[in-house]
Amino acid sequence: MDTMAAPELEALAGALRANEHDARQVVDGLDEALGTWRKEPGSWSVAECLDHLAVGNRVYIAAMALPAARARDAGRVRRTPAVPGLIGGLFVKSLEPPVTSRIKLRAPRKIAPRVSPPLGDAAAAFFASHAQLEEFVRSYAGIDLAGVHFANPFITGLRFSLATGIHVLAAHERRHLWQAWNVRNAVASSQ
């Protein structure tokens, strides 16, 4: 059986394609000035949203890569659907837009965006990291993504399944692309 034809992996691949399309749309037609515009001091620009996603994707994929490679080398093949468990699913759901929480969470220091990165650089970094994520899913689709765990790179002592990690990254992208769209719409209304 082609593991990428598994329904949940096909849905995930479709969600990742949608995220990439959304990111391309959000930067389409923005120049550097508009791409680095902030609605208010302390808020993020479109470029900073993309830069944050690029760094976050790279850090998370790096944390997942070694356990995934070991599982493949050990012959740990797919046994169950690549979906998050109960706790992982709740974590993924907490990342989904629209963000309605009144509590503003700060990005962990290791994935904070650069201050005012050029839009072109931030977009290129995001698209490169997103391609890494898509390649990770393709490369490891045949392993037991729901049964292999990795150490969360941001929360000491917390371990997620690789399936949860992939879904976290997809939801995290949606969250900050939603944020980038809000910034872009605010730019348009301020002109």
Q: Which residues contact 83 (CB under 8 A, 6 or more apart)?
A: 8, 89, 146, 163, 167
Residue 3 pLDDT:
53
Place of tokens 């208010």: 40
What's the CATH number where 31 sits?
1.20.120.450
The widest CA-to-CA distance across the chain, in whole angstroms, is: 58
How does pLDDT run across 95-151, given as a tens digit for each residue? 999 987 666 677 888 888 988 899 999 999 999 999 999 999 999 999 999 999 999
Question: How many domains is the chain built from?
Answer: 1
Residue 1 pLDDT:
42
Give, for 129, the enclosing helix (H) or strand (E): helix 119-140
- SS3 state of residue 36: coil
> Domain residues for 181?
3-190
- In this predicted structure, the answer to whether residue 67 has a pLDDT above a threshold of 60 is yes
**pTM listed for this prediction:** 0.93
Average pLDDT of 173-186?
A: 96
